[in-house]
Chains A and B, each alone.
Chain A
Amino acid sequence: MTRALQYTADALSTGGLYALFACGLSLVLSVARIANFAYGSVLMVAAYMLLVTRALAWPIALIVVIASAVVLSVAIDRVAFAPLRRADAVTLLVASFGVSILIQNLVVLIAGARPASVNFGASFNDAVSIGSVHIAKIDILTFVVTAAVLLSLWLFLTRSLTGVQLRAAAEDFTMSRLAGVRANRVIAVAFAISGAIAGVAATLLTMQSGSLSTDAGLQPTLIAFIAVVVGGMGSVVGATVAGLLLGIVSVVLQATLPSHLLPYHDAILFSIVIFMLLGRPQGLFGARAAGARI
């Protein structure tokens, strides 16, 4: 029972983080139809901003980290993607790879290629004891923050005029424009929210690992892409739920696999994903045909 509760805490923490990764990526994919591989670079830069702001009080540092991720995300859209609005998906994908490589190399140039350590929120690595169950504070924090971010996003998407326009654009971009929704504005908002989520996710990820490297965004981006496919291309809810499920299944495998199979953890996890997609290729929450954006 004790172990089960601890695994549940781990699963919700990991799943929450994966859900954040997936949510940020799928928002841009559903509205702008851009498979944005540069999302991982935004995450990585946000993580490095924790290093830059280490002398500041943590609330200010957090604001700077999230703001820098928002600015970078929107700047990527303005500079790299906006001139390619009418380009096909492959061109946009290649552009996002280019942006990702450019940003990664810029960070190497400025901060060096060697991994660095960060002790932002180090106290959260202590455990809270509830009876015989010991749960790391960071796991509780990750789950609470994830829930708060997703709830805030849901309220924004359902209660605000901009949020409703964002959902309309995700469903039928051309029609939303014919109804008066400004294309570039709605895409910029999607990139801004995606950046903010990347900033939060980078902070939690760095707090968990305590280290920084220029390839820090790669693994989260891969997980996010897998969650997007499992959830159903274009469905933000689907990607978020799939991210949560991926995290939970990953932790369950980690806890239950015999030790000689643990090195194959990722292979087994992604085999499950492949079998799921064989049975339901459109993903958990269906799929829509891709269409022209502008």
Chain B
Amino acid sequence: MLAVEDLRVRYGKVAAVRGVSLTCGAGELVALLGPNGAGKSSTLLGIAGGLESGTVSGVVSLDDHPLQGLTPEDVSRAGVVLVPERRRIFASLTVRENLMVGASAWASRRQATAHAEQVIQQFPMLASMAHRHGGLLSGGQQQLLAIARALMAKPRVLLLDEPSIGLAREMVNTVFETIRRLRDDGLAIVLVEQNVANAIALADRALLLRKGLIEGVAQSGADQVLSSYFGRGEGAASPT
């Protein structure tokens, strides 16, 4: 489904991502792990088309259809949707309006509204506050709203950037339970996460990034991933 080959991101003289390759199929969750500045968020932004064209190179494709060079809205409409770090929900818009922004791919308002009803039913916490402004929600509620907004675009691939950052433990569990459900429903998910334990509990594969390079790829298995993450490569397989 999603294939990324030799993705490179450069901000001026700084190479943030130096040749990342990965694949993610339907119902699969690939975790990108690594310290701050490893290039995880830049990788997601590069895939989502969220960076200026001159800063990104490499090949990104969905079912062999190239995505590189497309505008962010076209990447989103193609089915690859980013849930960015810090949620970036629209604070002045209501929960329902936030969802409607994500419905841009739908042909008519009627279809979009019907889909919004389906999506919001998946998030009982949001269902009761459909008319509340996004800025008045808690961090956890905003995170669920950001995921729900992404689902409005009928995605096939979800790019999740630090979904648990700044959330209380109970809400972290809710968010990860939601991610598990989406993966089980067949979504391909690329997850950037500092919460390594939660990420590897869900991941089919974990890519360990350092300084913009994949240092190791660990197949599912907590011990292998943890030793790779904390032991700088011990036990990690070679990148494939």
List A residues at the B interface (Cβ < 8 Å). Answer: 86, 160-161, 164-165, 167-168, 171-172, 174-183, 294
Smallest beta-carbon distance A122→chain B, Å: 43
Q: Are B48 and A179 in contact (CB under 8 A)?
A: no
Q: Are B104 and A165 in contact (CB under 8 A)?
A: yes
A176–B72 Cα gap in the complex (Å)? 9
Residues on A with beta carbons closer than 8 Å to the beta carbon of B105:
180
Q: Are A164 and B91 in contact (CB under 8 A)?
A: no
Q: Are B92 and A167 in contact (CB under 8 A)?
A: yes
Smallest beta-carbon distance A31→chain B, Å: 13
Residues on A with beta carbons closer than 8 Å to the beta carbon of B153:
179-180
A168–B101 Cα gap in the complex (Å)? 7
Q: Are A183 and B93 in contact (CB under 8 A)?
A: no
Q: Are A168 and B109 in contact (CB under 8 A)?
A: no
Q: Are B76 and A171 in contact (CB under 8 A)?
A: no
Q: Are B77 and A164 in contact (CB under 8 A)?
A: no
Q: Are A161 and B90 in contact (CB under 8 A)?
A: no
Residues on B with beta carbons closer than 8 Å to the beta carbon of A180:
73, 76-77, 81, 101-105, 153
Most buried by A among B48, B71, B153: B71
Q: Are A161 and B76 in contact (CB under 8 A)?
A: no
Q: Are B100 and A161 in contact (CB under 8 A)?
A: yes
List B residues at the A interface (Cβ < 8 Å). Answer: 48, 50, 52, 71-73, 76-77, 81-82, 84, 88, 90-93, 97-98, 100-105, 109, 112, 149-150, 152-153
A177–B153 Cα gap in the complex (Å)? 12
Q: Are A179 and B102 in contact (CB under 8 A)?
A: yes
Residues on B with beta carbons closer than 8 Å to the beta carbon of A175:
84, 88, 90
Q: Are A161 and B103 in contact (CB under 8 A)?
A: yes
A179–B91 Cα gap in the complex (Å)? 15
Residues on B with beta carbons closer than 8 Å to the beta carbon of A86:
52
Additional A-B contact list (11), CB under 8 Å, known A175-B90, A178-B76, A294-B71: A161-B112, A165-B100, A168-B93, A171-B93, A174-B72, A177-B72, A177-B76, A179-B76, A179-B102, A179-B152, A180-B76
Residues on B with beta carbons closer than 8 Å to the beta carbon of A171:
90-93
Nearest A residue to B91 via CB reads A171
Residues on A with beta carbons closer than 8 Å to the beta carbon of B109:
160-161
Q: Are B101 and A181 in contact (CB under 8 A)?
A: yes
Smallest beta-carbon distance A82→chain B, Å: 13
- Please list the 4 inter-chain residue pairs (A to B) with the smallest Cβ-Cβ separation, ordered nearest first: A180-B104, A180-B76, A168-B101, A177-B72
Q: Are B93 and A178 in contact (CB under 8 A)?
A: no
Residues on B with beta carbons closer than 8 Å to the beta carbon of A181:
73, 101, 104
Nearest A residue to B104 via CB reads A180
Residues on A with beta carbons closer than 8 Å to the beta carbon of B76:
177-180
A183–B91 Cα gap in the complex (Å)? 20
A18–B105 Cα gap in the complex (Å)? 37
Residues on A with beta carbons closer than 8 Å to the beta carbon of B82:
178
Smallest beta-carbon distance B130→chain A, Å: 13
Q: Could you list some 20 contacts between A and B, CB below 8 A?
A: A161-B103, A161-B104, A161-B112, A164-B97, A164-B101, A165-B101, A167-B93, A168-B98, A168-B101, A171-B91, A177-B72, A178-B48, A178-B50, A178-B76, A179-B104, A179-B149, A179-B152, A180-B102, A180-B105, A182-B104
Most buried by B among A174, A176, A294: A176
A175–B73 Cα gap in the complex (Å)? 10
A66–B47 Cα gap in the complex (Å)? 43
Nearest B residue to A182 via CB reads B73
Q: Are A164 and B93 in contact (CB under 8 A)?
A: yes
Smallest beta-carbon distance A231→chain B, Å: 15
Residues on A with beta carbons closer than 8 Å to the beta carbon of B88:
172, 175
Nearest B residue to A235 via CB reads B92
A182–B91 Cα gap in the complex (Å)? 20
Residues on A with beta carbons closer than 8 Å to the beta carbon of B98:
168
Smallest beta-carbon distance B75→chain A, Å: 8
Smallest beta-carbon distance A23→chain B, Å: 17
Smallest beta-carbon distance A177→chain B, Å: 4
A181–B98 Cα gap in the complex (Å)? 12
Residues on A with beta carbons closer than 8 Å to the beta carbon of B104:
161, 165, 179-182
